[in-house]
Structure formats: structure tokens, C-alpha cells
Structure 1
Amino acid sequence: MIPPAAAPDFLTRAGWGNARIEPLAGDASFRRYFRVIEPSRRAVLMDAPPPHEDPRPFIGIARHLCALGFAAPAILAEDLDHGLVLLEDFGDARMREMVDAGDVDEAATYTATVALLAELHRHPPANVPPYSRKEMHREAGLLTEWHCPAVGLTVDADGYHVAWDTVFDRIDDVPSVTVLRDYHAENIMLRDGLEGHARLGLLDFQDALVGHPAYDLVSMLQDARRDVPEDIETQMLVEYQRLAQPGTAFLDSYAILGAQRNAKIIGIFTRLWQRDGKPRYLDFLPRVWGYLERDLAHPALAEVAAWFDANIPADKRGGYLKDPA
């Protein structure tokens, strides 16, 4: 977590030349974050190094969300050639830790996140690509591409695609919305002294697409990084349906998109271990497999569930992978 070489000049041009730079966080991508500190103010420096990362989608969605009245970080300065962006600092009160510590009410906090989604979904979507069926297939295929070989399985990849194609036909046709795609408790900051949507500081939305409104609910309520109680998930689904009135097939779509997302995550987390040398993501696999098993039990997933039963035996599920190191 050494600051990029271009950071001092960038900060000087942005009017932050006397600031101290401290490591803040890295993530599953090549992006890194630093806190930029002066006596009376502070900001966050995003390092999104080209050619691996492009900060322009993040900047575009941040400005879109801010224009709609949501709390995305203000863009204070940018240097696209070096992949540097100076952002508003939302502080340290992340939803995940605040809920886990009991510092905020779990149900009330999740209710606020659901209300934010319902409000976002009332607005026309951002100018970003669609969450196409081709992309959904590609993501679901990460499980057969990465995880199945890692557990010693040779599986029917063509049958997997066919099963998903049948199931995707059951996703209900509702108006498309902005899908943030990584909307969960580690990407929401709880901002002091604010209420309503302004209290929820949104992060990590650079991969946003236009898609189904159930997807971000799945991301929040089947969170790969923390256990969301099943009763909370049920309550929040009822609350979203009360606010948004999405139609009678919504829960079918929620289960389908839940299974698709969880299959994708299993594949990605296996890849992060094998390809990128990040074994800590294996610790999340038992939780994600648990969500996936629940989704596969839904009648709308019958063909995909049958494929799993035929190709992945019970003793190869559940995320038992361990890094040999």
C-alpha cells in the first residue's frame, strides 16, 4: 500500500499538496484507496491504475447518483491518465461493522437500504450498458470455469448453459433500472448527523449496468461477506414489494438472480485464490454456497438444480476449499 508515484503531483495540483497520505484499503480488483489528511479536512484518493482499471465509469455513476440526490462521493479532482481520483471522504462507520457491533439496529438499517433501492428504481436508469443475457451466462459460467476444476470435477458445461437459458426465460419482464451490482454492507458508509438516503454513503458502483430491480436486493440480502438472517431477508423482500409493487413474479426472479449471482461469486472467489493469490476469499465460500442451495430449492430453478445434482455431488459443495499454503 505505497502511494502511487504520481500521487504527490496530483494532490498538489488539486490543492492538497500539504496532505498526509495513509493507506485505507484495497479490494478484489487492482484498485487501492488512501486517506488524504490535512489539519482541517480529509479526502480519499482512489488509485485505479491503467490499463487494469478505468475510473471513468465510477466517475460517471457517482455524478449520476449525486444528481438524483443520493450520497455518492463528490469528485474533487481527477487525473485519468494516471487513474487517480480524489473523492469525498464518508468516514469510517461502515454498515457491516456498525451492524455487527450492535451500534445500529440491524432491521432498521436494512430497511433504509431497501428504501434507497426502491427510490433509485423510480428514476430512469443511468446511461450504462444493459445487463444482457450473454453477460449473465458468462458470469454464471465462472463456476464451471474456475470452481469445478479446483474441486477436481469435469462437468457438462453445455448442459449448464442450456439449464440457465431455460431458467432465465422465467425472469419477469419489468422496467429496467440502474443496477449498482455490488450493493452490500461493506460498500455502504453510515454518515453521522444525516437522515434518509443522505445517511447511506454509496461506494463501489463502477460496474453498474441497466437490469432487473431484484439484483441489488440479492446483493444486499444474500451478502457474501456477512450472514444476513433469513428473517431479515424475508422482511426486506416484503418491504421492497410494499414500496415498489414489482409484480407477482418478482420472487421467482429474485431466486433466479440470487442463484446466478452466487454461482458467479463462487467462481470469482476461486479465481481470486488461484489466479490472483488472494486465499482469504475462500473463507466466504461456505456462506455463498449456503445462499446458492437456498436459491436452487426454489421451483423456478428446477433445471439448474437438476444440473447441480447431476454434476456436483454434495461432498464437493459447501466451500471446503483451503489454500495449501
Structure 2
Amino acid sequence: MSSDVRAQQLAQWLHAWHKGQPQWSSAMGPLTMISGDASFRRYFRQVFSQGSLVAVDAPPEKENCHPFVAIAGALHDHGLCVPQVLAWSSSKGFMLLTDLGDTLLGSELSATSVNTLYGAAMTALIDMLDCPAPTNYALPSYDRERLLTEMRLLSDWFIPQLLGVTLNEVDAAALEAQFGLIADAIAEQPTGFVHRDYHSRNLMLTPEGELGIIDFQDAVTGPITYDLMSLLRDAYVVWPAEDVSRWIAQFHRQLQQAGKLERHISLSLFARWCDWIAVQRHLKVLGIFARLSFRDGKHGYLNDIPVVYRYALDELAPYAELAPLRAILLRILPEYLARNPSAAPTLESYL
């Protein structure tokens, strides 16, 4: 079904909802698309005299609205600022949400604002960690198999599809062994609610000045450092390593003060947890960005690969037990740079 037909159906569904809502005045103008994302969802805004709402087109053959609806309710009940679901249709794949505005956290970040904004984001993370699971939806577990499946996106999509490289049997076995080592190490961490994509494009500043959280439908129960590292080593914004280390120490301190991390967990161990979970995420992201291009025709994310590649190389460097993985990434780097010469300023120093 074409996107134009879907948009018309969404407008009709919204009109039918509006008929039963006398508190909302007549719509002022048509639905206006405000964004799409890495999924198949599209977002539209409908303006009324007393405010605006966001209508979501999530084709049911591609997307499932139920997790978003259930998790939105749980996060809202826990006191976090998220879009509230006013109406939804599972069969049609439509949702109607309260509108958090247009201001992404990323657009407001600067050297002078980042400490305040990241401070707010980390405080929200502390609160979110013990958000109760929705009563009508079981949060998946970020278990070993899920971690491995994600890391294998590197060997399934990034290496063979984006680079056209076929690993020999020795390297393929080494890569799989390294994935297992990372997954086993991550299992040592305490767990809590994990947003799973907590970064500058999924956090907003509302007109009221609150930190709004969006795009949480893939939430799981998993390692407590995951969302922190999504934020601090964001594919879309890079900060000096000393700043990231300072924020990690701040979060470690906040966790212990809140009673959510045992006092015997040292900062050095916590920082190691952060590096290893960040490696897992960045291996996954390399594969996802390649898959978005080759499978879904969304090529813009390829521009963000150099930063993610650099993150992974830097995160692996301190750990001798992960040297085989770093060596493979370094061996395939010349092929990546040959195909993507614009990445040279970010990555050529690793050659």
C-alpha cells in the first residue's frame, strides 16, 4: 500500500476520533508530516486551536504498536515525560499522541549546555532503571542470545554487504568467539529497564522545559550501563574522552547514592562495564546502518559509520582479551576507507 494511501487513511481515522472529542476544536489545516525514522514509522502533526497532536503511521505488517502503547503507559505512570497515547488502532497501525514539540536534545547541545542537559538525561536514566514493567506487556530480556544476534549484524551486513569482504574461517571463528566473550562479560552487570536507543535524537526538550523521552518501543530488561553509553557515545554527537569519563563517574556516583548500585562496585569496574557494553552496541550499529542502506534503501545513516567505527576501535584498545576483534576491524579498515574516502579524516590515523 502506498504511503499516500496510508496518509489518507490516517487522516480519516483521526477525523473519526475527533468526532467523539468535543473538547478539541476543528483541525486547523491538514496533517503535516514531521519526520520518519530508521523504522517504517512516519509521524504527522495535526494542529488545533488549543494545541497540536502527533499522529503515527506504523504499518501493521511492519510494526507493532502494542509495545509502544504499553511502555508509554508504564513510563508515564513512573513520572517520566513521554508522549501519552490518546488513541490507537492495532489493526490499522495508527496512534495518536500528545505532542512534545520539535526541539531535539541534539539541537540544543553545546559546550556550555551539555553538562546541564546530560545531567538531566542521566537523572531521568536513574529514574527509568526501576520503572516497573507494563502490566499488559512483558519486556524482553536482553539475554546472551539477543546480544549475540545483534553483534552478528557486523558479520552478516557490515563486512560482507558494505565492504564486500569474506572473512576466512579463522577470522570468522575468532569473531564469533569474541562476540561470546563480550556477551558473557555483559551478563555480569546488574539489570534494569533499558530504553535501548537513548541518545540525542530520541530525547526532546518540551516547550515547558522538561526532558521528553521518545522512541522507547524496543525497551528491554538489560544491563544498567547500556542507555548511559548510548547517550555518552552517541553516533550523532562526539565529546572529548575526558568529558565522557567524567560523566561516567558522575553516573556511577548517582547510582550508588540512589541505592541502585552496590558500593563495592568500583569506578574502574564500572568504566569497564561501560566500554564493553558500548562495544556491543557499536558493533550492532555498524551492522544496522549497513542493513538500513542495503535492505531498506535508507542511505543517510552511512554517513554516521566513521564515528561509530572509531568508537569501537577506541573502546577495544585497552582490553588485551579483545585484541583479536580489534585486529579484524583494523584489517578491514583499508577496504572501508577505499570505498568511503570521506571517512579518512576520522579513521586514517588507525592505519
Q: Same fold (TM over 0.5)?
A: yes
Residue 307, structure 1, aligned to residue 325, structure 2: yes
Residue 44, structure 1, aligned to residue 64, structure 2: no
Instruction: Report which stretch shifted further, 249-258 or 227-236.
Output: 227-236
- Distance, in Å, in 2 between the alignment partners of 1:263 and 1:295 is 11
Does the 8 A contact of 2:144 with 2:187 survive in 1? no
Residue 243, structure 1, aligned to residue 261, structure 2: no
The Cα shift of 1:124 comes to: 4.2
Runs of 4+ in 1 over 6 A off after TM superposition: none
Does the 8 A contact of 1:62 with 1:74 survive in 2? yes
- Distance, in Å, in 2 between the alignment partners of 1:169 and 1:11 is 47
- Give CA-to-partner distance per residue, 1:97-136, whole Å, 9 cap, x none: 1115x7x711110111111111222444554010011011
- Distance, in Å, in 2 between the alignment partners of 1:169 and 1:157 is 19
Instruction: Report which stretch shifted further, 49-58 or 10-19.
Output: 10-19
Partner in structure 2 of residue 8 of structure 1? 11
The Cα shift of 1:298 comes to: 2.8
- Distance, in Å, in 2 between the alignment partners of 1:310 and 1:30 is 33
The Cα shift of 1:232 comes to: 2.8
The Cα shift of 1:165 comes to: 1.3
Query: Aligned letter for 2:180?
Result: D
- Distance, in Å, in 2 between the alignment partners of 1:35 and 1:264 is 32
Q: Secondary structure at the match of 1:71?
A: coil
- Distance, in Å, in 1 between the alignment partners of 2:311 and 2:290 is 17
Question: Which residue, out of 76, 85, 102, partners 1:92?
Answer: 102
Q: Secondary structure at the match of 1:282?
A: helix
Normalising by structure 1, report the TM-score: 0.90
Count of matched residue positions in the alignment of Structure 1 and Structure 2: 315
Residue 295, structure 1, aligned to residue 315, structure 2: yes
Identity %: 32
Residue 59, structure 1, aligned to residue 59, structure 2: no
Residue 220, structure 1, aligned to residue 231, structure 2: yes
- Distance, in Å, in 2 between the alignment partners of 1:99 and 1:231 is 17
Per residue, is there more helix in 1 or in 2? 2
Matches within 5 A, 1:68-79: 68-79=78-89
Query: Aligned letter for 1:60?
Result: A
The 1:30/1:310 distance shift into structure 2, 3 A limit, reads closer
- Distance, in Å, in 1 between the alignment partners of 2:300 and 2:205 is 26
- Distance, in Å, in 1 between the alignment partners of 2:131 and 2:66 is 22
Q: Secondary structure at the match of 2:88?
A: strand
Instruction: Report which stretch shifted further, 244-253 or 57-66.
Output: 244-253
Residue 132, structure 1, aligned to residue 151, structure 2: no
- Distance, in Å, in 1 between the alignment partners of 2:182 and 2:37 is 32
Residue 187, structure 1, aligned to residue 202, structure 2: yes
Q: Secondary structure at the match of 1:50?
A: coil
- Distance, in Å, in 2 between the alignment partners of 1:54 and 1:322 is 39
Normalising by structure 2, report the TM-score: 0.83
- Distance, in Å, in 1 between the alignment partners of 2:190 and 2:158 is 33
Structure 1 residue runs without a partner (length 5+): none
Q: Secondary structure at the match of 2:70?
A: helix
Query: Aligned letter for 1:7?
Result: L
- Distance, in Å, in 2 between the alignment partners of 1:26 and 1:123 is 28
The Cα shift of 1:311 comes to: 6.3
Query: Aligned letter for 2:15?
Result: T
Partner in structure 1 of residue 218 of structure 2? 207
Partner in structure 1 of residue 38 of structure 2? 28
- Distance, in Å, in 2 between the alignment partners of 1:58 and 1:157 is 37
Query: Aligned letter for 1:110?
Result: Y
Does the 8 A contact of 1:142 with 1:267 survive in 2? yes
The 1:111/1:319 distance shift into structure 2, 3 A limit, reads farther
- Distance, in Å, in 2 between the alignment partners of 1:322 and 1:132 is 37
Does the 8 A contact of 2:82 with 2:214 survive in 1? yes
Q: Who wins on radius of gyration, i.e. which is larger? A: 2
Does the 8 A contact of 2:55 with 2:96 survive in 1? yes
The 1:223/1:319 distance shift into structure 2, 3 A limit, reads farther
Instruction: Report which stretch shifted further, 165-174 or 287-296.
Output: 165-174
Partner in structure 1 of residue 116 of structure 2? 108
